[in-house]
């Protein structure tokens, strides 16, 4: 099983994604304090890892569901879900992803 803990940022919400392979499908359990991500989670219970890691064809189902359910296009949760699926399916190594934001006058 692969687990991803996603701290979404200024909203203060945390999401925990658990992914496990069952045959050729990735089974997801997603828990979040965010109502939008809860709606997303209800749609994303079983994914094809090979559809999730490419923009070819119709693209990732995660992003299709996020377009319907998430209010904020910059939400990092959808990409965290895809990363967990990739790792669980053996399509990526488990490594943290970081975005550091700052403002300056330069």
Over residues 50-96, the pLDDT tens digits come to 999 999 888 999 999 999 999 899 999 999 999 999 999 999 999 99
Over residues 22-31, the pLDDT tens digits come to 999 999 999 9
- Identify whether the C-beta of residue 28 lies closer than 8 Å to the C-beta of residue 19: yes
Mean pLDDT of 13-30: 98
**In this predicted structure, what is the pLDDT of residue 71?**
85
By DSSP bridging, strand 14-22 and strand 2-7 are antiparallel
pLDDT higher than threshold 90 for residue 106: no
Q: What domains are there in the chain, each with its CATH number? A: 2-88 (3.90.1010)
Find residue 25's DSSP bridge partners: 22
77's tokens: 């949760």
pTM higher than 0.85: yes
Find residue 18's DSSP bridge partners: 3, 29
**In this predicted structure, what is the pLDDT of residue 70?**
92
């Amino acid at each position: 099983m692969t687990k991803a803990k996603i701290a979404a940022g200024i909203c203060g919400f945390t999401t925990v994604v658990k992914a496990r392979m069952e045959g050729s499908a990735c089974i997801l359990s997603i828990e979040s304090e965010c109502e939008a991500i809860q709606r997303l989670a209800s749609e994303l219970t079983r994914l094809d890892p090979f559809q999730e890691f490419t923009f070819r064809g119709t693209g990732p189902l995660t992003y299709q569901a996020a377009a319907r359910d998430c209010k904020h296009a910059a939400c990092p949760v959808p990409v965290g879900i895809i990363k967990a699926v990739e790792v669980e399916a053996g399509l990526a190594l488990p490594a943290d992803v970081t975005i550091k934001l700052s403002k300056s006058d330069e």
